[in-house]
């Protein structure tokens, strides 16, 4: 299949869902060999120089590529078989959390996609937010309680919802922290 083509035939034996395959076919790869497009928390710091000799350290390699994309240009892609239309209510909470202003609903029949349209949904998401203030306040309170429990567990925990018991379970984590202490310190001082 040619890059940029929006039509691809997938055999029944290859059926694993179309979401990622559609995104790969329908969108351009801006950063070569990237695994996806993600929002990343930036950490700014300064050093005065770089040692010429080889030093032992992390195998992590950081490369700056791509470009900054304004939030207004971001979109969420959802694929669905044509006879099961995707309702806005099925995705609005995800759009609200990510503050994504555009939605692409890509429908297919027997593995063939229709040409999708980009929908401007920011106003609909805002209305949903206004209509769900009570639930969103309850969510904010729950997140605050989760943060308090995690602090009690030493700042590192996994939160798991057990549907059978209808409860949240907190498990303490051991090991290295994922981010620098300076970033955690910023969150410790904030009352969100």
Tell me which of 110-114, 163-167, 178-182 is least confident.
178-182
pLDDT digits (tens, 9 = 90+) for 70-85: 888 888 889 999 999 9
- With cut-offs at 50, 70 and 90, classify the pLDDT of residue 192: very low
Instruction: From residue 17, give the alpha-carbon distance in Å to each of 5, 34, 44, 98.
Output: 18, 21, 39, 23
- State the average pLDDT for the chain: 75
What's the full length of the chain, in residues?
192
pLDDT digits (tens, 9 = 90+) for 78-134: 999 999 999 999 999 999 988 999 999 999 998 888 998 999 999 999 999 999 999
CA–CA separation, 150 and 158 (whole Å): 8
- With cut-offs at 50, 70 and 90, classify the pLDDT of residue 33: low
Asked whether the predicted pLDDT for residue 136 surpasses 50, the reply is yes
For residue 60 the two structure tokens come to 């992590």
For residue 148 the two structure tokens come to 């308090």
Tell me which of 8-17, 172-181, 182-191 is least confident.
8-17
């Amino acid at each position: 299949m040619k890059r940029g083509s929006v039509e691809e035939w997938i055999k029944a034996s290859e059926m694993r869902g179309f979401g990622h395959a559609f995104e790969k076919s329908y969108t351009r790869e801006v950063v070569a060999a990237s695994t996806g497009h993600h929002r990343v928390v930036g950490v700014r710091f300064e050093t005065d120089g770089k040692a010429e000799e080889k030093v032992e350290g992390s195998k992590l390699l950081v490369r700056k590529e791509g470009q900054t994309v304004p939030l207004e240009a971001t979109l969420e892609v959802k694929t669905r078989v044509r006879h099961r239309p995707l309702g806005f209510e099925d995705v609005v909470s995800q759009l609200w959390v990510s503050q994504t202003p555009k939605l692409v609903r890509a429908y297919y029949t027997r593995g063939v996609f229709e040409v999708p349209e980009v929908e401007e949904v920011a106003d609909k998401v805002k209305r949903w937010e206004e209509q769900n203030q009570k639930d969103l306040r309850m969510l904010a309170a729950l997140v605050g309680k989760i943060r308090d429990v995690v602090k009690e567990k030493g700042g590192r925990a996994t939160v798991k919802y057990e549907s059978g018991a209808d409860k949240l379970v907190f498990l303490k984590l051991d090991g290295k922290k994922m981010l620098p202490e300076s970033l955690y310190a910023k969150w410790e001082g904030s009352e969100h």
